[in-house]
Amino acid sequence: MKSHEIDYEIFGDDLQFVEVELDPGETVIAEAGMMMYMEDGITYDTRMGDGSKPKAGLLDALVSAGKRVITGESLFMTHFTNHAGDGKRHVAFGAPYPGKIIAIDLDEANGELICQKDSFLCAALGTEISVAFNKRLGAGLFGGEGFILQRLRGDGMVFIHAGGTIVEKRLTGQKIMVDTGCIVAFESTISYDIQRAGNLKSMLFGGEGLFLATLQGTGRVWLQSLPFSRLADRILKFAPSAGGKSQGEGSVVRGVMNFLQQ
């Protein structure tokens, strides 16, 4: 396996985007709808599958695309290629919500990375994007992110995004317990499981959820401070209700403003 060798630069602070530099003939693959801009000379093509096996037949392509459907992602991926013959060209991809973008060299991650199903942004052509079924039933049923995670394989650069701030932790055999939604990615040398969050009282009134994820082994783990699901819950909590009445803090002010606008 040999992925394209791409250069990149990440811009911004809390609303980041990554600009990828492509030599003539180089390609980067991305989730549909993530492209921000591209320079003249770059062409894009929507294809079924990640293109990691160019000689694969139609059946293999359908199987690969079907696995993406299981994760809830689009059936297709977009391939951006520099077809200009006179030098480098740039294409940029933006994160879909506030947070951080991190670049990971799969060659330094033992060729494999496990990540949340919605954290993948883009990668060098040659990266295989597949499904990682969790073998432990408990982790699948109560893991917060569901039974399915994404597996990224290859030897090139991949870019993933997450909410809030991303922290990288290096484990050397110890175990850490994490809110299930705060896991972004981890190396394949890390084992992942689910355990009950304390006693019944803690589970019901602790506010930390019924279950916690346990990560143990030797390798790197990436965590996010603000999962998108948590952000969405907060927004919905203070959003106007279905009946048109505002809820939560500031509802009186919003009510007065709505009255004045009528």
Q: What is residue 252's predicted lDDT score, i.e. its pLDDT?
A: 47
Nearest CA to 90 out of 26, 33, 30 is that of 26
Q: What is residue 260's predicted lDDT score, i.e. its pLDDT?
A: 47
Quick check: 209 and 239 in contact, CB under 8 A? Answer: no
Give the integer Cα–Cα distance in Å for 116 and 184.
Answer: 6
Q: What is residue 210's predicted lDDT score, i.e. its pLDDT?
A: 67
Q: Where in the sequence is the domain holding 196, given as residue range(s)?
A: 7-234
129 burial level (CB within 10 Å; 0-12, 13-18, 19+): buried
Give the integer Cα–Cα distance in Å for 193 and 137.
Answer: 9
Give the integer Cα–Cα distance in Å for 70 and 39.
Answer: 33
Q: What is residue 55's predicted lDDT score, i.e. its pLDDT?
A: 57
Give the integer Cα–Cα distance in Å for 191 and 216.
Answer: 5
User: Does any domain span residue 174?
Assistant: yes
Q: What is residue 206's predicted lDDT score, i.e. its pLDDT?
A: 52
**What CATH number is associated with residue 177?**
3.60.160.10
- pLDDT means per 10 residues, the chain with 262 residues, are 89 92 96 93 88 62 58 75 93 91 95 90 93 59 60 95 93 92 93 73 55 91 87 76 50 49 52
Give the integer Cα–Cα distance in Å for 49 and 153.
Answer: 14
Q: What is residue 108's predicted lDDT score, i.e. its pLDDT?
A: 94
Which residue in this structure is represented by tokens 């994160």? 95
User: Does any domain span residue 50?
Assistant: yes
Quick check: 148 and 70 in contact, CB under 8 A? Answer: yes
Q: What is residue 118's predicted lDDT score, i.e. its pLDDT?
A: 83
User: Does any domain span residue 246?
Assistant: no
214 burial level (CB within 10 Å; 0-12, 13-18, 19+): middle
User: Does any domain span residue 201?
Assistant: yes
Residue 260, φ and ψ in degrees, nearest 5? -70, -30
User: Does any domain span residue 244?
Assistant: no
User: Does any domain span residue 89?
Assistant: yes
Give the integer Cα–Cα distance in Å for 30 and 123.
Answer: 6
Q: Which two tokens stand for residue 15?
A: 């609303």
Quick check: 95 and 17 in contact, CB under 8 A? Answer: yes
User: Does any domain span residue 1?
Assistant: no
Give the integer Cα–Cα distance in Å for 95 and 44.
Answer: 19
Q: What is residue 172's predicted lDDT score, i.e. its pLDDT?
A: 96
Q: What is residue 15's predicted lDDT score, i.e. its pLDDT?
A: 87
Residue 62, φ and ψ in degrees, nearest 5? -65, -40
Strands 7-11 and 17-22: antiparallel
Q: What is residue 117's predicted lDDT score, i.e. its pLDDT?
A: 79
Give the integer Cα–Cα distance in Å for 178 and 190.
Answer: 13
- Domain total in the chain: 1
User: Does any domain span residue 106?
Assistant: yes
Strands 120-124 and 27-31: antiparallel
